[in-house]
Amino acid sequence: MRITQLSRKNIQALTPYQSARRLGGKGDVWLNANEYPVAPNFSLTLNNFNRYPEAQPQAVIQGYANYAGLSPENVLVSRGGDESIELIIRAFCEPNQDAILYCPPTYGMYSVSAETCGIACKTVPLTEDFQLNLTEIEKALDGVKVVFVCSPNNPTGNLVNREDLIALLEMTKNRAIVVIDEAYIEFCPTATMVTELKNYPHLAIIRTLSKAFALAGLRCGFTLANAELIAVLQKVIAPYPLPTPVADIAAQALTVEGLAVMKQRVEEVKANREWLVNELTASALVEKVYPSEANYLLFKANNGQKLFQFLWDNGIILRNQNSQLNLENCIRITVGTVEENQRTMQAINQFA
């Protein structure tokens, strides 16, 4: 018997997450994973690697709580925001019984994590302007334990209307957990739903150091929620989820100085994003540039597939969104350095 056949049926059927790194590519302009384009400068201060780390390192938890305007009891730190998605599914969904619900086109990890855990996925497509279809969500809620909403939404870049998120929280009371994925909230901080935690015990918010904090390689993310929900997740998280070097650098990133550097980066990314919006809009073969509140842009091109391939062949690696629901001929581009953005636009205009 082959080993594969011994694996669980849902794992045999699973298509793993197609991460930017897994998709590969060859070149020196990498604008496909919404990373910050330049490495930040950190050095380790701890060297007690013979000891197990703190399960929830106090400096990191306190640092994030201060940053988010919450108490330490409202914060869980994990191996990236992706681990938070899986923890919530594992803790709240009964295998082969419960379902999650999400609204495509959106982030791919909600379904991959659910399928890994043997949890069914229900989808209610976003409306034409990438907002929630609340009527259809309400109809689909039977058996749903967790609803995932990404805002700003990846890959479309827009915020989900606050009043719709409130309506969703109202309609799911005593029924399901609502997860708002705020991986990109640093680029539009006033839109955060953290202020609603006091009103909704079933709200969980996902955050990460991978985007505006420029630390995707660190693998550090957070769940923000009321103490009771955090305590449930504490039961299922690994005993020592955060390696000592990760906690060390994360704590530094969350100091007053670290936060100031992050905010500077956000301003710079936003300025470069505006440049890209103007250039893409002016380009003959770009049909539409979608408004973005994040560090990436979605655009629709004539012959988007061919353009994507042309750029790929020329060492400019973007993210093809053509196979996502309602995103034919769409490409997502991460805002890069001034030079990377210029090279990309030169190549695009060369194709045109």
Ligand X SMILES: *Cc1c(COP(=O)(O)O)cnc(C)c1O
Interacting residue ranges for ligand X, rule: CB under 6 A: 34, 80-82, 107, 150, 154, 181, 183, 206, 208, 210-211, 216, 221
Least distance CB 16 / ligand X (angstroms): 15
Least distance CB 28 / ligand X (angstroms): 22
Least distance CB 172 / ligand X (angstroms): 20
Q: Are 293 and 184 in contact (CB under 8 A)?
A: yes
Least distance CB 348 / ligand X (angstroms): 23
CB-wise, 99 or 246, nearer to ligand X?
A: 246
Output 55-62 pairs: Cβ under 8 A, ≥24 positions apart. 55/239, 55/240, 55/241, 56/234, 56/242, 57/242, 57/247, 57/250, 57/251, 59/247, 59/251, 59/254, 60/220, 60/242, 60/247, 60/250, 60/251, 60/254
Rounded Cα gap, residues 57 and 244, in angstroms: 9
CB-wise, 65 or 212, nearer to ligand X?
A: 212
CB-wise, 216 or 348, nearer to ligand X?
A: 216
When CB distances to ligand X are compared, the closest residue is: 80
Least distance CB 287 / ligand X (angstroms): 24
**H/E element, 101:** strand 99-102
CB-wise, 158 or 345, nearer to ligand X?
A: 158
Q: Are 15 and 113 in contact (CB under 8 A)?
A: no
Q: Are 29 and 342 in contact (CB under 8 A)?
A: no
> What's the angle, vertex CA 104, arms to CA 99 and CA 106, rounded to 5?
100
